[in-house]
Amino acid sequence: MSDNTGAPLGAPWAQQPSPVPPPRPREPPPEPEKPKKRPLRAVLLAVGLVVLLGLVGVAVGHYAWGPKTPPAPAKVVSAPPPPFDVAAAVAKVSPAVVNIDVELGLEGGGAAGTGIVLSPDGLVLTNNHVVEGATAMHVTDVGNGHGYDATVLGYDRSHDIALLKLAGASGLATATLGDSNAVRVGDGVVAIGNAGGVGGPPSASPGRITRLGRQVTAADEVTGATETLHDLIQVDADVQSGDSGGPLADPRGRVIGVDTAANAGYVFDEGLRPHEGFAIPIAQAADIAQRIRDGKASDTVHIGPSAFLGLTVVDAGNGSGALIKSLVAGGPAAKLGLKANLLVVGIDDKPVTSATALIAVLDTHHPGDRLRVTVAGQGGKTATVTLVPASGPIG
């Protein structure tokens, strides 16, 4: 991967960054003045909940995460991590970290997360769930202390990756990317991020890799939509809310993963320990980022603005469609006369069997596309209307 000057995205920084304050201790943050959704996936196997944005740009859902069975065969290590200079690793990575603050205009709230600088002109890697639902974003670069407005170039919902572009950025310190294919169970790591969403210098939590190749599945308890992440790195570092999108680094300060989820303090029979976290391997994340940068859309990679219908849906059950629960006043669906309790059963020539299927279809479309939307009412009668999505919140 390279920036538009030809410099590798994972190359050492071209210039000496400004001094970065030492990492702040991981303490419970003070309550913010107004509520924030602080993105972090909570892995609770069965009962835990975390608020994330849901469908069609507006719905808010609760996701319960858990490793699929059978669990990955990797052995859980109980030995302490090999000693390494945590402060030195953090000092190398921190200048390439950004704090992300997101406005959720339709929800009347905000969110906070972390990102990793990939290029001097402001390409930033983060989680899709950090920016999902965003109507505006402000990013603060830790390396130079400057703030920037940001836009989302594209995202891959199924792998929880998004690529941002900072407006007017230049000369930023960039992260050195490591080889996530070479990591092993027992390797020392440090998770770095905007823990608690409080901003300022990033906090850091050392630990070790406890398992590899983990798979977790999310089910939205409001909409029924599901999502599965594969081949995750499991660590016993204390990954916290707000760390999402931040770097998981090795002892040499090379980024080997993108923090995306955490256990919320429960102990389970499948080897999941209290306060363990999960990270997307950097090889996978960097490949997706490059495809977004190259404008190569696919069934999972969405490029550019999101198609916004202005409605919320839930699974109707039995593969019968996506049930409309509410509509945004003045949105495309409301203007067309669609109503709550109608079933969306098709878009163009593609059947819509669930809320998840509707998300997948919309991720292949953009504002201004003319969509033939088939809806079904009571009694099973169907009608097809032409709906033109607007540009709306991310995802």
HSE value, Cβ hemisphere, 13 Å, CA-based, for 267? 0
Q: Which two tokens stand for residue 125?
A: 């890697």
Active site residue 269: no
Catalytic one among 3, 129, 180, 315? 129
Spatial distance between the Cα atoms of 209 and 233, rounded to a whole number of angstroms:
7
Catalytic one among 160, 243, 250, 259? 160
Active site residue 203: no
Q: Which residue, among 121, 151, 115, has the nearest Cα to 136 in the 3D structure?
A: 151
Spatial distance between the Cα atoms of 351 and 333, rounded to a whole number of angstroms:
18
Beta pairing class for 301-303 and 277-281: unpaired
CB contact at 8 A, 296 and 310: no
If DSSP codes are grouped into helix, strand and coil, which group holds residue 241?
Answer: coil
How many residues would you count in the chain?
A: 395
The dihedrals phi and psi of 45, each to the nearest 5 degrees, come to 65, -50
Q: Output the 3-class SS for 133-180.
A: CCCEEEEEECCCCCEEEEEEEEEEHHHCEEEEEECCCCCCCCCCECCH
Active site residue 78: no
CB contact at 8 A, 262 and 145: no
Catalytic one among 94, 180, 244, 306? 244
Beta strands in 301-391 (DSSP E): 301-303, 307-308, 311-315, 322-327, 343-347, 350-351, 371-376, 382-387, 390-391
Residues catalogued as catalytic = 129, 160, 244
